[in-house]
Amino acid sequence: MGIRIITDSTSDISIKQAAKMDINLVPLKVIFDEKEYKEGIDITIEGFYDKLVKADKLPTTSQPAPDEFLECFKEAKESGDSVIVIVLASKLSGTYQSAMIAKDMAEYEKIYIIDSKTTTVSLRLLIEEAVKLRDNGLAVEDIVTKLNDLKERIVLLAMVDTLEFLHKGGRLSKSSAIIGTLLRFKPIISLQDGGISVIGKERGVQKGIRRVIESINEVGDIDLDYPVHLGYTSQDDRCRLLRDKLLEERALDNLPMHPVGCVVGTHAGPGACVLTYVRK
């Protein structure tokens, strides 16, 4: 009897990477003009951003149906395996609720569902830790306890080009979104307790990146026992600037950059760069 790890596609882990990590991915969907695309399956990240900038209307996104989790749960039940499910923040999507419904349908006690309270590269960080703990032979209950503790220390900071996409996608109020329309400000956002907050605004990319780095001191310094990840939507030029500044100013050996996928990209929009780490 083993431990199966399941996450959703907003972790921005590719199918090939998931196979190497021995985890299962459940895709969310992005919808352009009523045509659905399963993230990472029916549409590539590059193809998505190409469609996004050309679209007359902002696409919508959709959570997985409970049946998409249930199939994995039934397989685990037949094998007697335990299952750890780690999904994006329940305040941002109904994916967590779909997984809970599927657990009830499976009627199997060895399913542990974790609301990560985050998404994209932060969710990836949590999944990588789960895989490491599993591969080190920890019991499922111990893994779940450690992950629930760790998720409270994960920080996500981002500079976005505009708040328009977050507002239109229903993830941010109109009053908060107005900040991003003034004088070409670059909004700085964070994901706190599963919800999005605007924590600053700076005029221009360089000042925006500086504010992201300064925000580390405000929300909690980096715990170097854990990896630090960067993410970007569409082009990686701003993310490279952020990486170079961090490598110059911080004692960091490696800062991998990951493309942010379709579902999160729908709400963040092109031109965003993301920093995630575990705070001390």
- Reading the chain (280 residues) residue by residue, the pLDDT tens digits are 799 999 999 999 999 999 999 999 999 999 998 899 999 999 999 999 998 888 888 899 999 999 999 999 999 999 999 999 999 999 999 999 999 999 999 999 999 999 999 999 999 999 999 999 999 999 999 999 999 999 999 999 999 876 665 555 444 445 444 544 555 678 898 998 888 888 888 888 999 999 999 999 999 999 999 999 999 998 899 999 999 999 999 888 889 999 999 999 988 888 899 999 999 9
pTM score: 0.91
pLDDT of residue 53: 82
In angstroms, the CA 120 to CA 94 distance is: 16
> How is domain 3-28+63-151 classified at the architecture level of CATH?
3-Layer(aba) Sandwich (3.40)
| Residue extent(s) of CATH 3.40.50.10170 domains in the chain | 3-28+63-151
As a whole number of angstroms, the distance between CA 164 and CA 110 comes to: 42
Q: Where are the beta strands (DSSP E) in the chain?
A: 3-8, 24-26, 29-32, 35-38, 60-62, 82-87, 111-115, 154-159, 185-192, 195-203, 229-232, 257-259, 273-278
- CATH code: domain 154-278 is 3.30.1180.10
**What is the pLDDT, as a whole number, of residue 229?**
97
Residue 182 DSSP class: S
Structure tokens at 273: 């760069």
Amino acid 93 reads S
Look up residue 159 and give its amino acid. Answer: M
pLDDT number for residue 203: 84
List, for residues 226-269, the tens digit of each pLDDT value. Answer: 999 999 998 899 999 999 999 999 888 889 999 999 999 988 88
A 10 A CB-CB count for 201 gives 19
Task: Please give the pLDDT value at position 180.
Answer: 47
Q: Where in the chain is the domain with CATH 3.30.1180.10?
A: 154-278
CA distances from 19 to 24, 184, 189, 199 (A): 8, 42, 32, 37
The three-state secondary structure class of 93 is coil
